[in-house]
Amino acid sequence: MPDLDQDLLSIQEARNLATRAFEAWKTWAKASQQDVDRVCAAMAAAAFNAADRLGQMAHEETGYGIPAHKRLKNEFAARNVWESIKDIKTAGVIHHDPEKRIYQIAWPMGVIAGLTPSTNPTSTVIYKILIAVKARNAIVIAPHPSAARCSYEAAALMVKAAEENGAPPGLIACMQYVSLAGTQELMGHKYTALILATGGTPMVRAAHSTGKPAYGVGPGNVPAYVDRSADLEKAARYITASKAFDCSTICATEQAVVADRPIARSLQRLMEQEGAYFVDKAQTDLLRRLLFNSEGVMVPATVGKPAPYLAALAGFDVPAGTRVLVTRLNRVGKEEALSREKLTTVLGWYEADGWEAGCERCIELIQFGGRGHSLVIHATDEKVIMAFGLEKPVFRIAVNTMSTLGAIGLTTGVFPSLTLGAGGVGGSITGDNVTTYHLFNVKRLAYEITSPPPAALSAGSATQETSTRLVEQVVRDVVQEILKNT
């Protein structure tokens, strides 16, 4: 038997799953709030219980990150995301304003195409399925090819829990024959109502180019400014741990420290105590060549890798216990590859004299590769904190926390999410942490509260006069045309 074309298999699978999801959605769109919440609670519990196994699977399949950290992300996606949305009304009348006599009625989108990355595969699958089904949508997951098996396993256990609790078959699905052609077919399918894309810039651009509504998120070149007023021990501990968390595979991870010059040496010593290794100029050159190709694209083999592994790959030794490699830099832009987003355990280091200079350096980093995404500031001076909040072109400013966990909503009060909008400046439709609110529309049933003005109800003499003038003008134009041609 000849080999079957993988692209054709993927395209056909996308069509089949989208059609089946649409048929299931026509039933699910009429589900009661009680039914929706029962199904979602069961899925969240099933995913939480499998968090450790799924984390191990994701690490083994992709080679990225740390299994224990992936387990934590899975638990976050199941428990924290569900806790944040479980009380949101998504069926029927969700709000009534008696004074304005308006009823707001939730209305689902339909079939959602959920594109998920290799860096956070199982956690993103769990999160997207929960927020989509909670909003009474169907969802078809298109996983990254290098994380297809673990993504399918995460979706499959949620499918089982959902159907055992009354969800129609086909409401949730995950592609197994994964290819670019198949993903494009899913995004452009006539039954796909919305695209929810999390991943690299090319994939997000493809989602936006389909002509379908799309939530896509851009890269995060996150600066961490450390002010002279900061709790330096806490800042050092948090920055190092955050950059090392799952080997820097979350897009909100710190990419460069901008240290206020009076405290820079103290911060360096404290970070070294936490496992940060400051490389020299020769080692920095080795890392530049290792991490990025000539076009400035990160080499896939270096993504999500522990610091000792990267050092050995680059050709130098590091002390035992090294968690992060820190490179001193002076420039930002294409001429400095290490000023880009680095989805691995390499952290840039800049120094600036005073918060105003630190502010400008942070803006440079954001404009180069992380517009609209995130920033973290360590300070106790509220004037400095507010200045950063007001002036930075990003939509998440995390204060005195781990950026990795603060931006996604684990250690802060923002909505728990694994899709972080970058707003208009970053090419996204929203700057929010995307959640179930973004996946349903709202109808408004509005009663009259003000009588129309009398002029709106009357034909009025002006209307007749205007009509007469128009007729007379048309007659004059016709006569002039006839005379001109005779």
Instruction: State the Cα–Cα distance between residues 230 and 132, nearest whole angstrom.
Output: 40
Cα-trace Rg, the chain:
27
Catalytic residue among 40, 174, 247, 251: 251
Residue 234: closest CA among 389, 55, 379: 379
> In the numeric block, which tokens belong to residue 428?
């996204």
| E strand or H helix that includes residue 214 | strand 214-216
Residue 337: closest CA among 345, 352, 327: 327
> Contact, 235 vs 439, CB < 8 A?
no
> In the numeric block, which tokens belong to residue 226?
């450390």
DSSP state of 301: G
Annotation says 251 is catalytic: yes
Instruction: State the Cα–Cα distance between residues 142 and 45, nearest whole angstrom.
Output: 23
The sign of the torsion formed by the CA atoms of 37, 43, 46, 50 equals: negative
> In the numeric block, which tokens belong to residue 285?
């050159």
List, as one string, the DSSP characters of 369-406. Answer: H-TEEEEEEE-S-HHHHHHHHHH-SEEEEEESS-HHHH
Write phi, then psi, for 297 (nearest 5 degrees). Answer: -95, 135
| Residue 23 vs residues 32, 200, 312: alpha-carbon distances, Å | 18, 31, 53
> Contact, 363 vs 209, CB < 8 A?
no
Residue 122: what residue type? T
With b for 16 or more beta-carbon neighbours within 10 A and e for fewer, the 97-134 pattern comes to: eeeeeebbbbbbbbbbbbbbbbbbbbbbbbbbbbbbbb
Catalytic residue numbers? 251
